[in-house]
Amino acid sequence: MRKDKTNRCYLCGFRIPSIAFKKLGWNILQCKSCGVYNLDFAGEYQQFIRTYYDRGFFTGGSNRAGYLSYEGDRKAEDKNMANYLKGVRRFVQSGELLDVGCATGLFMLQAEKAGFTVTGLDVSEYATRIAKRRFTGKIKTESIENALYAPRSFSVITLFDVIEHLEDPRAVLVKLHGYLKKNGILVLNTGDADSLMAKIQGKDWHFFIPPQHFFYFSKKTLTTLLHQAGFRVLAIDRKGKWVTLRYLFHLARQIQQDALAKFGFKLVGGIAPGKIPIYINLFDNITVYAVKKNNRTQKRNT
């Protein structure tokens, strides 16, 4: 967790967060005032993300609750990207698009096809090597904290499955605010820690994945964060995800260390039905559409 001198809550600055629970050896803190959860992380963040999102993260590495095979499960991922694009096009139909955390460029492929001029970045060397083959000269291998773009150069910026990975999400959103044109649109998604699924499952909720997820927002806390960074929320929806059966078992064996999940993975990991995309909506993931407010009055720790 990013701590200021007072150790107070990152989001509301009101209380000192307390330990909500421990998972996979990490403390997850929660602010009793605003409810936001975050990871108690004391390491060097830039160094951490450079090494964590390597090939293993995208290809089922043994100590990563990442993707089993991002490119191998492409059918499922393409359906997700189409679903994301449908959402984006509710608010903006063309123009310059920046995809933060573009991975191998699957969303960019569809956005470009739909008429957007696309640019992307990702901290993963593995993923951007593939993306660069697809988009010559349009991909940076860089963290969003370190990357630089010209002010007011994008009509829309997307962050799919990204905001929860950031150590200082407000600073990133403030930066993106500067990169957006007047009335530019920001689209992002993340888990909803206030969802019924999260409440039923408690610490076993599949989205509580330390150390890769630093923040666990809700509709309320994410709206607060966006407001602090100079955005106004236009709409929020709850999309499901296309996944493969083999990915589900992979995730379960990594997060729960569960024997049944390990057995299930053995069963379907190598066979064709394990790769068929399945649509699952647990209503525990929110996609937020926000517009750049032109006068940013950043409030924090008031």
Least separation in angstroms between CB 32 and Zn ion: 8
Residue with tokens 């992979």, as numbered in its chain:
250
Least separation in angstroms between CB 27 and Zn ion: 16
Q: Which is nearer to Zn ion, 15 or 181 (CB)?
A: 15
Structure tokens at 139: 């991909």
Q: What Cα–Cα distance (Å) separates residue 9 from each residue in 63, 127, 205, 215?
A: 30, 33, 22, 12
Structure tokens at 19: 């330990």
CB atoms within 10 A of CB 9: 23
Instruction: Return the DSSP state at 292.
Output: E
Least separation in angstroms between CB 250 and Zn ion: 34
Q: Which is nearer to Zn ion, 120 or 191 (CB)?
A: 191
Q: Which is nearer to Zn ion, 31 or 98 (CB)?
A: 31
Structure tokens at 54: 């390597």
Structure tokens at 272: 């064709």
Q: Which is nearer to Zn ion, 149 or 217 (CB)?
A: 217
Residue ranges binding Zn ion (CB under 5 A): 9, 11-12, 31, 33-34
The C-alpha atoms of residue 227 and residue 99 are separated, in whole angstroms, by 21
Least separation in angstroms between CB 171 and Zn ion: 17
Q: Which is nearer to Zn ion, 38 or 244 (CB)?
A: 38
Structure tokens at 104: 């191998």
Least separation in angstroms between CB 300 and Zn ion: 11
Q: Which is nearer to Zn ion, 32 or 296 (CB)?
A: 32
What is the separation, in whole angstroms, between the first and last Cα of the chain?
Answer: 19
The C-alpha atoms of residue 166 and residue 145 are separated, in whole angstroms, by 9
Least separation in angstroms between CB 31 and Zn ion: 3
Sign of CA dihedral 160, 161, 166, 168: positive
The C-alpha atoms of residue 154 and residue 176 are separated, in whole angstroms, by 9
